[in-house]
Amino acid sequence: MSTPVSVLVDATLITFVFALAALGLAVIFGLIGVINMGHGAMLTLGAYFTWFATTSGVPFVLAIVLAAGGVCVIGVLLEHLVIRYFYDRPFETLLLTWGFFLVATEVIKIVFGTDLRTVENPLPGAIDAGVFVLPAYESMVAVISFALLAALGLILFNTTVGIKVRALAQNAEVASLLGLNIGLTYKWVFGVGSFLAGLAGALISPMLSVDPYIGNIFLVRSFFVVIVGGIGQVLGGTLIGSFLIGGSETLFALFAGQVVSQTIVFALAIMVLRFRPSGVLRAR
Amino acid sequence: MTEGGIKRRGVVTSLGQGFLRSETTVAIVLFALLAGLPVVVSGYTIYILPQYLLYGMLAMSLGLLWGFVGILSFGQAAFFALGAYAMGLSETWGLGPNPAYVGLMASLVTGAVLAAAIGYFLFSVDVRHVYFVLVTLALSIMVEQITVSQSQVTGGYNGMYVPRMSLLTGASGALSLSKDAAIYYFILPVVATVYSLLRWVLARPFGKVLVGIRENEDRLIALGFRTPLYKTAAFAVSGAVAGLAGALYGTHANFVSPSLGGVLFSTQVVVWVAIGGRESLLGALLGAVAVSALSTYLSALIPNYWQLALGIVFIAVIIAFKGGVAGAVMRVAERSAGRKEHG
Amino acid sequence: MGELLRTDGLTKRFRGIVANDCIDFTIGLGEVRCIIGPNGAGKTTLISMISGHLSPSAGRIWFKNQEITTRSVVRRAKMGIARKFQTPSVFDRLTVHQNLELASFGKPMEVAERAVRLEEVLAITRLCEMRRTVASTLSHGQRQWLEIAMLLANRAELLLLDEPTAGMTAEETRATGNLIRMLASRHNLTVLIIEHDINFVRDLRAPVTVLHLGRVLTSGSLDEVAANEQVRDVYLGRE
């Protein structure tokens, strides 16, 4: 039964799930300007690692940390072996990360097979709050997503490292004058972004059935979240973008089918891209 | 840079122009061989080859954009699928005295108009080229999903049957293309004509301006060129070519399904063109034919490892062989020509 | 000498920094004019507003008696305003001849007329022997000349040259001076030049406008300008 309140709850949960899925992309795209077309594959890897760990008897909490760590290692390797030589060529990094997607997807198929896998929901059930019902696991994911955004905000705006990294995003020359090791910082940012992507994949895995293309559901949406919110607006932008993309998709789906509403949202995102290329939250 | 380096690079270009002439020679020989092929071969090869050639036509539509204008599209399959559906619907609904002609025209027009609309919408405000990639990617997703959801028209996931077309010839009779050899001899000249037309366009001032956009768009703007219009026109041509290829593919394969417009197929086109050589239309064409032929053959033997190898080759091409196979061939040709010059 | 270009109170502010402040400036048809001034005087900003790459915060621009203040770069280029960028901006992977041919496509021309014009431009800019050379392999000075040649092939009427002799040898600099004088006298082109090299400006024997802190300090012949107390202060660093 959809009441206004339950729709609002759904939209809120979706917003935070989308924000979680887009966060790794927002970090890499917003801070070092790499269009990571392998983001979807990183989500998928996170999901499969979680599936593998939990079915091997590892507790869920440990499994998601291991999964995120594993994706982080893969991301740093990718950066170290390939991406770091192409930072000044956005087109090439786009293609190379897509190449990473192709390779990672085939490796997943070879290692894990193509059957649908399910990760058991560690928090089944729901919280009955009277006027509405909150699914327990989704709510926890929303809280984690919010916590990650807040933590990232604290790091970016209140620590010296964060301020230097933001300086790098603005102007590499100035950042190097501030004594920032640019190569190492890029590596760190890429690693953190990959970690977040892996973590998102891990946390999302109990909500969907896991297949080799699960991450691609979120790839284009994540890009639109980042673009609509405003590149470089890692926090507010991601949240606003997620709300506009995910939340509005939920709302449109009330009146039209799932597909139609998604098409409308994509079309709207393209409009934003054209008329406000620097995002809804425009950097001054 | 040393004097020798400068000199050598100077030689390279004059040979590069020679290479264009030799590309023409290779193309003529190739199309002539293909025209003679049904005399010696028959069966599955003659059935499947036109489909590969149509993939090649799709690859040329991307090669034109990516290699010559410097715009990458991750959504060429969307136009291809729309072309195939246009042909299918025209045949299903029996449009006009000859649905085949209507289908072919509709596929061309759909591709051109949709691409022109999207292109002008984005290029007129100078949307960054990496964002253009994302929009075309979204286009592919939208086409795939819409064709899935509009199942009463498109057949949804199950796809849609498309009959082999027959073309009315004058008042008297119709030319049926239901035989494999017959449609082979229809598709081959179409692909050859499209290749020649694109080559011709690229040799015109319009084509030279496109290359100028790839090289230095700001310079062209400062010289008074309305580059958004040129880019829009190039994208429209590309969309039309992809749409026409799709219509022919649909009627040849007797089938069209949503995945034909999807992201995975769209990016497959990027892989073909990258491997074949983005700065040569013939390279793109042959890249598509060779990779898809190998795919059919090797997918049966080693499905996953083949795709994996393809992904690795793709990465290697982007890192080290920007010109793909065509570029490598050109380099070898130049080196041997250079040796002759010295010796 | 008729007026070709006029600016009226042209002003450009970047976030509170005034790069150009109320510049009134006129250049006549067939005139050669140098703009000099210390770094940060607003020379490139002025040229960018004339070419349309920057839009002014205030003020107006007329070209051939039409107001062009709000017109796009493309429309101004079509009217005959052509700009040479500070670092040579050419089509690196094309040959010299292909570069010029491409530039000539910017204006409608008969095929034969185009061929004649390209030969003429190649001859004027001494690039005949380089016609088949790829632009990226030219020397820095030759690239500068190629870019000027492109503006000529494009049938520009007002050339905006931003430091055309940067990176040139003494010989190339002298030749560039001769080229510019000839373009003005024989081909009736109007040339506006930003230049640092005072010797080059002296060789041109052209009138000079001095910019300082975004304002026109003075105009006149180089000798007149050099005799001006304020100019001496600016250049010698006296306040």
Asked if B140 and B78 touch (Cβ cutoff 8 Å), the reply is yes
The DSSP call for residue A10 is: H
pLDDT value of residue B171: 65
Q: Which residues of B touch A273 (CB under 8 A)?
A: 122, 127, 131, 134-135
Q: Which residues of C touch B3 (CB under 8 A)?
A: none
Number of Cα atoms under 13 Å in the Cβ half of residue C70 = 0
Span B200-216, pLDDT tens digits: 999 999 999 999 999 99
pLDDT value of residue B172: 66
- Chosen for mutation from B150, B304, B306 (greatest number of chain A CBs closer than 10 Å) is B304
Ranges of beta strands (E only) in chain B are 160-161, 166-169, 173-176, 255-256
Nearest residue in C to B11, CA atom: C133
pLDDT value of residue C171: 87
d(CA B160, CA B239): 22
Tokens encoding B87: 């042909």
- State how far the alpha carbon of A121 is from the alpha carbons of A69, A145, B252, C168, in Å: 21, 17, 47, 71
Name the residue ranges covered by the structural domains of chain A.
Answer: 3-216
Does the distance separating the beta carbons of B9 and C134 come in below 8 Å?
yes
Asked if C180 and C32 touch (Cβ cutoff 8 Å), the reply is yes
Does the distance separating the beta carbons of C105 and B209 come in below 8 Å?
yes
Residue B21, pLDDT > 60, answer yes
For residues A157 and B58, which has the higher predicted lDDT (pLDDT)? B58
d(CA C57, CA C42): 14
The full length of chain C comes to: 239
Mean pLDDT for C185-194 is 88
Span B30-42, pLDDT tens digits: 999 998 888 888 8
> What CATH architecture does domain B18-31+44-342 belong to?
Orthogonal Bundle (1.10)
Tokens encoding A280: 């809804």
pLDDT value of residue C238: 47
- State how far the alpha carbon of C156 is from the alpha carbons of A144, B156, C103, in Å: 62, 58, 10
Q: Rg of chain B's alpha carbons, rounded to an integer?
A: 21
- The Cα of A156 is separated from the nearest Cα of chain B by a number of Å equal to 26
What DSSP line would sit under A205-263, residue for residue? Answer: GGGS-B-TTTTHHHHHHHHHHHHHH-TT-TTHHHHHHHIIIIIHHHHHHHHS-HHHHHH
**Which of A192-201, B52-61, B89-98 has the weakest average pLDDT?**
B89-98
At residue B65's C-alpha, the angle toward residues B60 and B67, to 5°, is 80
For residues A237 and B250, which has the higher predicted lDDT (pLDDT)? B250
Across all residues in chain B, what is the average pLDDT?
86
Which strands sit side by side in the sheet containing C58-63, from one edge to the other?
C17-28, C3-14, C58-63, C66-67
Residue C148, pLDDT > 70, answer yes
Residue B318, pLDDT > 80, answer yes
**Which of B105-114, B229-238, C98-107 has the weakest average pLDDT?**
C98-107
pLDDT value of residue B13: 44
Chain C contacts in chain B segment 131-160 (CB below 8 A): none
Q: Which residues of B touch C102 (CB under 8 A)?
A: 208-209, 212, 220
pLDDT value of residue B3: 36
pLDDT value of residue B14: 43
Mean pLDDT for B63-92 is 93
pLDDT value of residue B2: 37
Residue B44, pLDDT > 80, answer yes
Asked if A241 and A22 touch (Cβ cutoff 8 Å), the reply is yes
Mean pLDDT for B88-115 is 90
pLDDT value of residue A76: 95
Nearest residue in C to B12, CA atom: C134
For residues B99 and B115, which has the higher predicted lDDT (pLDDT)? B115
pLDDT value of residue A47: 94
Q: Which of A100, A220, A277 sits opposite B138 (nearest CB)?
A: A220
Residue C169, pLDDT > 90, answer no
- The Cα of B34 is separated from the nearest Cα of chain A by a number of Å equal to 32
Q: Which of A95, A259, A277 sits opposite B318 (nearest CB)?
A: A95
Q: Is B163 helix (H, G, I), strand (E, B) or coil?
A: coil
Residues 6+ apart with CB under 8 A from A88: none
Q: Is B143 helix (H, G, I), strand (E, B) or coil?
A: helix
d(CA B106, CA B109): 5
Mean pLDDT for B185-212 is 94
What DSSP line would sit under A106-145, residue for residue? Answer: HHHHHHH-SS-B-PPPSS-SEEE-SSSEEEHHHHHHHHHH
Tokens encoding C201: 């400006």
Q: Which of A259, A273, A275 sits opposite B131 (nearest CB)?
A: A273
- The Cα of B15 is separated from the nearest Cα of chain C by a number of Å equal to 11
**Which of A49-53, B148-152, C137-141 has the weakest average pLDDT?**
B148-152
- The Cα of B291 is separated from the nearest Cα of chain C by a number of Å equal to 29
Span C190-215, pLDDT tens digits: 999 998 888 888 888 888 998 888 88
Among A267, A211, A262, A187, which residue's Cα sits nearest to residue A18?
A262
For residues B337 and B207, which has the higher predicted lDDT (pLDDT)? B207
Asked if A86 and A96 touch (Cβ cutoff 8 Å), the reply is yes
Asked if C206 and C33 touch (Cβ cutoff 8 Å), the reply is yes
- Chosen for mutation from B123, B223, B279 (greatest number of chain C CBs closer than 10 Å) is B223
Asked if C116 and C138 touch (Cβ cutoff 8 Å), the reply is no
Across all residues in chain C, what is the average pLDDT?
87
End-to-end CA distance of chain C: 37
pLDDT value of residue A258: 76
pLDDT value of residue B10: 40
Does the distance separating the beta carbons of C106 and B13 come in below 8 Å?
no
Buried b (16+ CB within 10 A) or exposed e, B208-237: bbbbbbbbbbebbbbbbbbbbebbbbbbbb
Amino acid occupying residue A240: I
Residue C94, pLDDT > 80, answer yes
Phi-psi region of B326 (alpha: psi -120 to 50; beta: other; left: phi over 0): alpha
Q: Name subunits touching A (3+ CB pairs < 8 A).
A: B
Residue B1, pLDDT > 50, answer no
Using a CB–CB cut-off of 8 Å, the residues of A that contact B are 35, 82, 85, 90-92, 94-96, 98-100, 102-103, 105-107, 109-110, 216, 220, 223-224, 227, 257, 259-260, 262-263, 266-267, 269-270, 273-275, 277
For residues B124 and B235, which has the higher predicted lDDT (pLDDT)? B235
- The Cα of A119 is separated from the nearest Cα of chain B by a number of Å equal to 24
pLDDT in 10s for each residue of chain A, 284 residues: 567 777 888 888 888 888 898 899 988 988 888 889 999 999 999 999 999 999 998 999 999 999 999 999 999 999 999 998 998 888 889 999 999 999 999 999 999 888 888 888 888 888 877 777 788 888 889 999 999 998 988 888 888 888 878 877 777 777 777 777 888 888 999 999 999 999 999 999 998 888 888 888 888 888 888 888 876 677 778 888 888 888 888 888 777 777 788 888 888 888 888 887 776 665 43
Name the residue ranges covered by the structural domains of chain B.
Answer: 18-31+44-342
Q: Which residues of B touch C89 (CB under 8 A)?
A: 216, 218-219, 222
Number of Cα atoms under 13 Å in the Cβ half of residue B220 = 24
pLDDT value of residue B4: 37
pLDDT value of residue B246: 95
Find the largest Cα–Cα distance for chain A.
Answer: 59
Task: Kindly state whether B20 is in contact with chain C, defined as any CB-CB distance less than 8 angstroms.
Answer: no
Mean pLDDT for B277-292 is 93
Residue B5, pLDDT > 50, answer no
pLDDT value of residue B19: 62
Tell me the torsion sign for CA atoms B54, B55, B56, B60.
positive
Tokens encoding B185: 């001899």
- State how far the alpha carbon of A59 is from the alpha carbons of A53, A67, A207, in Å: 8, 12, 17
